[in-house]
Amino acid sequence: MSLAGLFSPRWPGVALFDLDGTLVDSAPDLAAAVDTMLEQLGRRKAGPDNVRNWVGNGASVLVRRALAGKADWEPATAKDEALYKDALSLFFYAYEKANGQHAKLYEGVEPCLQRLTEYGCRLGVVTNKPEQFVAPLMKQMGIDHYFKICVGGDTLPVKKPDPAPLIHAMEALGGTRGTTVMIGDSAADISAARAASIPCVAVRYGYNFGAPADALRADATVDSLTQLL
């Protein structure tokens, strides 16, 4: 099931990767920041298991889910809006300190990145994580040198599942829809790839809001990125 021949007769010219849940298990850092935020608000900690199911739509949605303790939450009153803004500021401050402290690369990530680089594939990261946290995490994980572009959740006016971040990265790397693949772990990744008409791969070990990755119906679903080699 290598990428060579999976979508075309040759290796893709461009490979775009999600970050959290695809390249890096960052949930421990995110959970630490969420719990610090909640404690400072006088609330009960959420814990890593809940946070894993809330990751994928960016920091603002993660904070809303943490405040609600469930899938989503929107401020209904001016008081709620003020609480959300305070909570988001507390989260950003806590995550800046926690980012990369407990995270780790998933097994198989570095061999995959190394091999694709050797084959001349141009690599990019397209994540919903705020841009200010992307480069520090990738540097901490020792993978920043593989990537020629990183698109964060606030790099453009929209984020995944909107296709614009994928198209932006693909075009910046000189790719086309016939020579580019998107690899991610969640519905946001696969939906964005579908909307961009880019072939996509889902990994089973990620977050995906607690749902099985096979239900995403990506063009391929793998247990490790090494399966793509």
The CATH H-level superfamily of 14-26+103-228 is: HAD superfamily/HAD-like (3.40.50.1000)
DSSP codes joined into one string, 47-74: -HHHHHHHTTS-HHHHHHHHHHTSS---
CATH number of the structural domain 27-98? 1.10.150.240
pLDDT tens figures, 192-218:
999 999 999 999 999 988 889 999 999
The domain segmentation of the chain, as residue ranges, is: 14-26+103-228, 27-98
Catalytic status, residue 80: no
Task: Give per-residue pLDDT as tens, 48-73.
Answer: 999 998 988 889 989 999 998 865 55
Say if CB 150 and CB 159 are below 8 A apart. Answer: no
Catalytic residue among 18, 20, 25, 35: 18
> Which tokens hold the place of 204?
């089973």
Neighbour count for residue 47 (Cβ, 10 Å): 12
Asked if 90 contacts 37 with a C-beta cutoff of 8 angstroms, the reply is yes
User: Taking the model in full, what pTM does it have?
Assistant: 0.92
